Amino acid sequence: MMEDIVLLETSKSVKKYKRVFKLIFAVGEYDMVIYDSRLNTCECYEIKHSNQIVPAQTRYLADEEKLSQTENRFGNITRRCVLYRGENTVLENGIEYRNVEEYLKGLKQR
């Protein structure tokens, strides 16, 4: 249910030239992608109920094949992020962990 809430609220907050959707691969998915058609860029998100950082949560965000497929269709990936219930942090590989409540509160300011 949290995925649906994040997708809906994000969709309502973005400009008309941006699309918000779930991207499904043959194996795996990105819970949310925000595509900017003006810049031909995208942001990829995983949405987790956990308040812990677990390496398996980022497996698709770090999967070179999925990243390449996504960039071929939706341009340069400008952000890879896990929305979860813990503290904000950035991993060594550049993947962000962002508190989902803070993310949702910040949507009104986009």
How far is Cα 56 from Cα 77, in angstroms, rounded to an integer?
20
User: For residue 59, which amino acid is it?
Assistant: R
Predicted pLDDT of residue 36: 97
How far is Cα 102 from Cα 85, in angstroms, rounded to an integer?
9
Phi, psi dihedrals of residue 109, rounded to the nearest 5°? -95, 0
Predicted pLDDT of residue 34: 98
- The pTM for the full model equals 0.94
User: For residue 12, which amino acid is it?
Assistant: K
Strands 96-99 and 89-90, sheet pairing: antiparallel
pLDDT under 70 in the chain at which residues? 109-110
**Phi-psi domain of 40 (left: phi exceeds 0; alpha: psi -120 through 50; beta: other):** left
